[in-house]
Structure 1
């Protein structure tokens, strides 16, 4: 393995360095505008073939050239600055696809599952509950749907336990009549 060292100013240049220094000067002569005008279209077409969208390809190539311009003092000295711009544009396209795929996956997880509408029994129960007086309805819902005890309902409503028992009894009786009537109507249909 050959180790390269920086030449000192007082020593003569080694053989073949004249060619290398001419090539490095040639690379430094490359101007950004010339590179942009010479390669924007071809890079855009390449990227359009890759991502399938011409306007997106134009945006990505434009962004790659903006990044090259910001680093032009370094990029202009590369052997092939166009290759650097192409690689950046392709990386941007790949990153964009990854972000879109992640966003689509997140949106799919956030979508609500399709739940069928309420069945006839639930519709009948909701209608029967709506016909109950407010106190009876609240007691029935708290006891049977919220699983609260008579003592807990009495404490929440600020009434004696006997009152809650009375609400529950009357509410169940009214629901039984309403639901029996609803079943008779459904049976005749």
Structure 2
């Protein structure tokens, strides 16, 4: 597969993942453009790795972390309103998802990347570990910490991961 074919097929998916990881649509496009710019000269090696998606996702995560480290000032994320919309409200689901994403973006970079790759990209722990360059136990630990933080911020009971209740 040529670089151009790959970008045509998977470019929009890379932008979606980048948007969830870095929390900003225009920054996500810039991040993907930067990653693709770095990938182009090495494309023959990347495509031989049998999984260019994993390779480029890892590049996205690393580029976002590098960007975050270079920033001189951090942005402040506002608090999520405590009131929840009425279930009869047509926009209730959208409002709940928006409130949840506002909480997800406050997670540390590795935890946020783990949540995005696990629940949005539907990747297993082994794949996430490859992308993040860590062990599967670190992935599980990051996921557990992220879920505990999210539950606490949503005032939900803290329960063991994997519990059905």
Say whether the fold is shared (TM-score over 0.5).
no
Greater helix fraction, Structure 1 or Structure 2: 1
